[in-house]
Amino acid sequence: MKRASYHNHTVFSDGADTPADFMRQAVAQGIEILGFSDHYYREGPGAQTAPEWALQPRLDERYFENIAEVAAHAPIEIRVGLEFDWLDGSAAWYEAPAKDPRLDYAIGSVHFVGKQSIDTDRAFWGSLSPEEVNETHRRYWLAVRDMAESRLFDIAGHIDLCKKFAFYPSEDLTPIIRDALDAVKAADMVVELNTSGWAKDCRECYPSDAILRACFHREIPVTVSADAHRAAFVCANFSRAYDHLARAGYREIARFRGRERFFESLEP
C-alpha cells in the first residue's frame, strides 16, 4: 500500500513549514503521496481578506503555483487540496473555489457554530452550561449535515471535532449524528481518520469508535490524515490508524487524484 497523507497545513495558512519542507519530510518518512490542504475561509462572495490562520485571497494563485513547483521536483506524488471552512450559507460562495479544476480533492470541515470557533478555545467550552454544551454539539452536527448536503467536498474533515476539549453532551445525539452520516453517505464523501485527536484532550482519533463503526456500517470509505501543522508530523500515528481501521473492519482506503477516487488495499 502506498502511504498517502492528504491533510496538511503549510505557511500558506496556519502551518509552520513550507510545502517544500513537507515534501522533504514526507520523503524521509516514507510517504509516497503527499497532499496539501491549507485552510480556506471566506466570509462571503468576493471577500478580500481572510483570518491570519487561513489562506489569504491575494495568495490563492501563489498557493497553486508553489505546490506545482514543489511537485515538479518531487520524487513522490504531490496532490493539491484545500480544507474549506464550512460557515452558515457558505455553499453559495464556496461552489466555485471548491470546484477549482486544479484541486485533486476538497475537504469540508466544520470549525464554527454560528460565529463561534469550537476548536480553538477550551475556555469557551468551560463557560457553557450543560444545556449550552448540548446545544453546541447539536448545532455542530447540523452544520456537518449541511456541509455534506452541499455536495461540494470529497472528504469530511475530523468529523466529530466537537469533542476535542472533552466536553461531551449529556443527551443522546445518536439521531442527529445518524442524519449527518446519512448525508455524508448520500453525498458519496469519504471520512478521514484524523490522527490529531489522539494528542488532544479527547484522547481519541476523529472519528470515535462508535462513529467509525457507523461509517463502516454505511460503507462510507475512509482515508487517513494527520492534520499536520508541522512537517515532522506528516504521518504521525499512521500505523496506529491503519490498525485501528482494520479492527473496525475496513479493508481498503481511498486515494485522490484530479477529483477522482481510487481504492487501495489496507494490507501493508
Interacting residues with Zn ion (CB under 5 A) = 83, 109, 157, 227
Cell (9 digits) for 254:
481511498
Q: What pairs with residue 263 in β-bridges?
A: 254
Please identify, using beta-carbon distances, which residue of 83 and 254 lies nearer to Zn ion. Answer: 83
Please identify, using beta-carbon distances, which residue of 73 and 115 lies nearer to Zn ion. Answer: 115
CB of 255 to Zn ion, least distance (A): 19
CB of 111 to Zn ion, least distance (A): 6
Please identify, using beta-carbon distances, which residue of 1 and 158 lies nearer to Zn ion. Answer: 158
DSSP 8-state class, residue 252: E
Please identify, using beta-carbon distances, which residue of 26 and 75 lies nearer to Zn ion. Answer: 26
Q: Please give the residue whose beta carbon sits closest to Zn ion in the complex.
A: 109
Query: What is the amino acid identity at position 101?
Result: P
78 Cβ neighbours under 8 A, 6+ residues apart: 23, 33, 34, 35, 36, 67, 70, 71
> Omega before 207 cis (within 30°)?
yes
CB of 72 to Zn ion, least distance (A): 25
Please identify, using beta-carbon distances, which residue of 208 and 252 lies nearer to Zn ion. Answer: 208
Please identify, using beta-carbon distances, which residue of 25 and 109 lies nearer to Zn ion. Answer: 109
Number of neighbours of residue 14 by Cβ within 10 angstroms: 15
Burial class (CB in 10 A: 0-12, 13-18, 19+), 82: buried
What interhelical angle do 209-217 and 238-248 show, nearest 10? 50
CB of 158 to Zn ion, least distance (A): 6
The DSSP line for 154-208 is SEE-STTGGGTT----SS--HHHHHHHHHHHHHTTPEEEEEGGGGGSTT-SPBSP
Number of neighbours of residue 90 by Cβ within 10 angstroms: 24
Cell (9 digits) for 199:
494528542
CB of 171 to Zn ion, least distance (A): 25
DSSP 8-state class, residue 147: H
CB of 228 to Zn ion, least distance (A): 9
Please identify, using beta-carbon distances, which residue of 11 and 252 lies nearer to Zn ion. Answer: 11
CB of 120 to Zn ion, least distance (A): 10
